[in-house]
Chain A
C-alpha cells in the first residue's frame, strides 16, 4: 500500500542560542514511516538558517510577525496556499500559537489542518495562570506571584533569590532588590506585564515532551534530564530517562488539562525528592529530535492527528539516549539571500 503524501508547513527555522524547534521537527518528519512529505518553511526573518537547508526544506516563505495581527497572517497564508496546497501547519513558537488557534476554522476551510490546544487550554497553562492550573490538577508548583509593581511585591516579604520570568519568554534568578528592578523593567518592556515571580527551588532539571490526541489521551511522553544548560537555561545536551514520578505528573497534567496536541513540561526535582512543574510549553520543544531518535516520532504523530488518521499510544522509548547540540556554519551564495529578501520566497527545489 502506498503511503500518503503531505505538504507540511513548519515555523521556527531560526537557530540562535535559544534555537527554534523547526529544523528538528523537519528532521523528524523526513524520518516518518507512515507518510512522505514536502516541507514548506515559514520564516519571519531572512537569516533563519532552516531556509537555507536544501535537503530539509523545499520552499520557504516570509510570513508576518504575530504582532502584525491575524488578518495579515491569514491574507499571507491564502497567497501561499494558492501555490503550495499545504495539508498541515506545525507552528513552533509560543507567540504565534494564539493566531493559529484563532484562525483554525478559516485555515481548515482552505484545506490546512492544525492540531493545537483550544484557546481555553492555551490560556490555562500560561505562566500567570500556572499556579491555579497546577493546584486544580494536584501538581506541585513553586510559589508564584504575578508582579505588576515591584514595590507591591517587595511588601509581600519574599526571600531572595527568586526566579523572575517574562510573560512569554526569559527567566532569570535574581538575588536582590536592585537586580530585581533592573530585570523587571527589561522583561516587562520586552514581553509586557505581568512578570512572574517564582520561588527559587534548587535541584535537577528535567523536561518532558508529550503529545495527546483530540480526546486528551496521552499518546507519547519522553522525559529528559538536562546535562548541559546554557546561560538562558536551555538544554545543550540531555539524556532520556525513565522516572515513574515524572510519568505520573504527565498523566496528571493531561487528565487535568484535557490537552490536545504536543506539549513540553519543564520540571525540577528538589533535593527532598519533590517534583515541581515550572512551566508548560504548548508546542514541540527544540530537543524533539532526541525523542525521535529514542523511538517516538512526535511530529509524525502530530501530522497524523491533524489529518484525522488513527494514532496508537507509544509510551515505550529507549532510555539512555543522549543528544549533544552543536552549531554549524553553512556557506551559501549571497544570491540566495537576495532572492529571499526581495521576493519573500526561497525555492530550494
Chain B
C-alpha cells in the first residue's frame, strides 16, 4: 500500500495530482493518515496509530480508513502494486 511518489501535498492539506491535474483539500485527520501512508505504514499499522491518538474503536476506524483508501485509489493517487 503506497501512494504515488509524484503526489504533492502541502502542509495545509492541499493535494495536487500532477498526472491528472486534479486537486483536493484534506481535513486534519486525512492529513495525518496521508503522512502515515507516506511513512510506509500498512493499513493495520495506521489503524493502531490513529486509534491510540483518538477515541475510536479499531473496527470503526478501519471502516472509515477503507473508504478513504478507496477514494485515493479512485483518484489515481495510489501506486499499483
Is B38 interfacial (CB-CB < 8 Å)?
no
Q: Which residue of A lies closest to B76 (CB)?
A: A273
B16 touches A204 (CB 8 A): no
Q: Could you say which of A88-96, A129-137, A172-180, A239-247 contacts chain B?
A: A239-247
- A side interface size, CB within 8 A: 14
* A window 290-330: CB within 8 A of B: 319-320
Q: How large is the interface on B (under 10, 10 to 19, 20 to 34, 35 or more residues)?
A: under 10
Q: Which residue of A lies closest to B21 (CB)?
A: A225
* B window 35-76: CB within 8 A of A: none
Is A224 interfacial (CB-CB < 8 Å)?
yes
* B window 10-48: CB within 8 A of A: 16, 18-23
Chain B interface main SS type: loop
Q: Which of A204, A227, A319 contacts B18 (CB 8 A)?
A: A319
B16 touches A242 (CB 8 A): no
B20 touches A225 (CB 8 A): yes
Q: Which residue of A lies closest to B17 (CB)?
A: A241
Is A122 interfacial (CB-CB < 8 Å)?
no
Contacts of B79 in A (CB 8 A): none
Contacts of A240 in B (CB 8 A): 21
Contacts of B18 in A (CB 8 A): 241-242, 319-320
Is B8 interfacial (CB-CB < 8 Å)?
yes
> Could you tell me the distance between the alpha carbons of A225 and B16 in the complex, rounded to whole angstroms?
12
Contacts of A243 in B (CB 8 A): 19-20
Q: Shortest beta-carbon distance, A272 to chain B, in Å? A: 13
Contacts of A206 in B (CB 8 A): 21
> Could you tell me the distance between the alpha carbons of A320 and B20 in the complex, rounded to whole angstroms?
10
Most buried by A among B18, B21, B22: B21
A interface residue numbers (CB < 8 A to B): 204, 206, 224-225, 227, 238-243, 269, 319-320
A-B contact pairs, 27 of them (CB 8 A): A204-B20, A204-B21, A204-B22, A206-B21, A224-B21, A225-B20, A225-B21, A225-B22, A227-B21, A238-B21, A239-B16, A239-B21, A239-B23, A240-B21, A241-B18, A241-B20, A241-B21, A242-B6, A242-B18, A242-B19, A243-B19, A243-B20, A269-B20, A319-B18, A320-B8, A320-B16, A320-B18
| Contacts A239-B21, A239-B23, A241-B18 known; 9 new A-B pairs at CB < 8 A | A204-B21, A227-B21, A239-B16, A240-B21, A242-B6, A242-B18, A242-B19, A243-B20, A319-B18
B interface residue numbers (CB < 8 A to A): 6, 8, 16, 18-23
